[in-house]
Amino acid sequence: MHRAAVALLILLAASESDLWKKLCDAGDARACRAFGNALEAEKDFTHAADAFRKACDGGDPEGCTSLGLLIQHGQGMPKDEAAAVPLLELGCKRGSAYGCYFAGSVYRIGRGVARDMARAASFFRLGCEAGDADTCATLGDAYIRGEGVRADPAEAKKLYEKACAGDAGAGCLGLGNLYYDGHSVPKDDARAAKLWAQACEHDAPMACSNLGAMYERAIGVDKDLTRAAALYKKACDAGVAIGCSNLGGMYYNGWGMPVDYFRAAELYKKGCDGGDALRCTGLGTLYADGKGVAQDLKRAAALYEEGCEGGDADGCVLLATALQSGAGVPKDPVRAAALLKRACDAADKEACDALAAQK
């Protein structure tokens, strides 16, 4: 953009901010909120808080919500999560859908208040009724899990449909999950794929990973490994651990791309760090074999243990094997047997066979 145009935009923004300030000083609550938004964008949180307080005192619901969030995060003032709650509730009661969402969220996780799932759901309902699609999706999740409300997949479906129609990615994600699982609706993989595609385009990165798996395995869509990899990458870049894990698996196996153990190790680590037990085990095998990383049997055993503790039976089997041979850990046949039994109890055939061979 031409320098003169940039200068004009800056001048116009400054002039608008000056106008909001003048109107705010004259007692216009909405102008105070707009002035606060401008100051917040400039990271002048102290003065933004003053403007939001004036807006809230003047009856503006979004001013109360914004002030509550600043207090909750300690921006422009000392952090006080308990003091933020009444402001978020007040914003909600005055009609701020976002206030309802954030009020519900603090009760859901117990931030500044005692955890209260029923109260959380009541605020989410108010936010949904006030027109916030994302809050409708959150209420839908509550109905799926029975959190603060009686579990009701049919009600969840209605809420997800409303949220998805409002372009809330979480709503399309939830609705896609229902069709993929056949939960309260006939199973429909093609419908799930379309919904996850919509969710992926509307900031629901888990849907990107889900859709990637469908393209990888030709479920509900034609197989397309290039598309799968791109979707996994999008999910991974957004912090979805399973997306990183799945992309790592493609590099490891050379599916749709050349084999690259170094890249696989990087991605498995992201998946493991994000809680994917299977990829902790997978990363362990890379360390054991020296593929993409320097061989390190001690590190491999530690990763097997992490995978095992996270619920991956293969991790338990590989750790048991290491304990039997002393590869990277002191020999411990008693613990090895216990791990094999644990994996066998989880229906791992390899572990059951190994146990049978010991008898």
- pLDDT tens sequence across 101-139: 999 999 999 999 999 999 999 999 999 999 999 999 999
CATH annotation of 14-131: 1.25.40.10
Residue 238 in contact with residue 206, Cβ under 8 Å? no
Q: How many Cα atoms sit within 13 Å of 303 on the Cβ side?
A: 23
**Predicted local distance difference test score (pLDDT) of residue 355:** 77
pLDDT the model gives residue 3? 53
pLDDT at 358: 77
pLDDT in tens, 25-58: 999 999 999 999 999 999 999 999 999 999 999 9
Q: How far is CA 89 from the centre of its chain?
A: 25
User: What value does the mean pLDDT of the chain take?
Assistant: 94
17, 71, 16: which is closest to 45 by C-alpha?
Answer: 71
Provide the Cα torsion 170, 174, 177, 182; round to 10°: -160
Measured between alpha carbons, how far is residue 10 from residues 19, 35, 65, 276 in Å?
Answer: 14, 16, 28, 46
pLDDT the model gives residue 14? 52
Average pLDDT of the segment spanning 236-252: 97
Q: Which two tokens mark 5?
A: 């145009």
Is the predicted pLDDT of residue 191 greater than 70, yes or no?
yes
Which has the higher per-residue pLDDT, 354 or 42? 42
Mean local confidence (pLDDT), 184-203: 97
CATH number 3.10.20.30 is the correct assignment for the domain at 204-275: no
Distance CA 54, CA 46 (A): 13
pLDDT at residue 173, as a whole number: 98
Distance from C-alpha of 63 to C-alpha of 336, rounded to nearest angstrom: 60
Rounded CA-CA distance 163/199 in Å is 11
pTM: 0.86
Number of Cβ within a 10 Å radius of residue 335: 15
Amino acid symbol at 312 = D
Res 8: pLDDT = 35
Cα separation, 227 vs 48, whole angstroms:
44
Indicate the DSSP class of residue 351.
Answer: H
Distance between CA atoms of residues 300 and 280, nearest Å: 9
- The answer to whether the beta carbons of residues 351 and 320 sit under 8 Å apart is yes
**Length of the chain, in residues:** 359
Percent of the chain with pLDDT over 70: 96
Residues 6+ apart with CB under 8 A from 274: 239, 240, 241, 242, 244, 245
> Residues 180, 212: contact at Cβ < 8 Å?
no
Superfamily of 296-359 according to CATH: Tetratricopeptide repeat domain (1.25.40.10)
Q: Tell me what pLDDT residue 7 has.
A: 42
Q: Work out the percent of the chain whose per-residue pLDDT is above 90.
A: 88
In this prediction, residue 215 carries a pLDDT of 98
Least confident of 12-21, 43-52, 174-183, 295-304: 12-21
Mean pLDDT along residues 182-205: 97
The whole-number average pLDDT for the span 238-262 is: 97
User: Backbone phi, then psi, for 2, in 5-degree steps?
Assistant: -60, 145
Give the 3-state secondary structure of 305-318: HHHHHCCCHHHHHH
Question: Which residue blocks in the chain are alpha helix, DSSP H?
Answer: 3-25, 29-41, 45-57, 61-73, 81-93, 97-109, 117-129, 133-145, 153-165, 169-181, 189-201, 205-217, 225-237, 241-253, 261-273, 277-289, 297-309, 313-325, 333-345, 349-358
Ranges of each domain in the chain:
14-131, 204-275, 296-359
Residue 354 pLDDT grade (very low, low, confident, very high; cuts 50, 70, 90) = confident
Residue 9 pLDDT grade (very low, low, confident, very high; cuts 50, 70, 90):
very low
Q: Tokens standing for 116?
A: 């209260």
pLDDT digits (tens, 9 = 90+) for 255-314: 999 999 999 999 999 999 999 999 999 999 999 999 999 999 999 999 999 999 999 999
Cβ density class 308-330: b for 16+ within 10 Å, e for less: bebebbbbbbbbbbbbbeebbbe
- Whether 296-359 and 204-275 are alike in CATH topology: the answer is yes
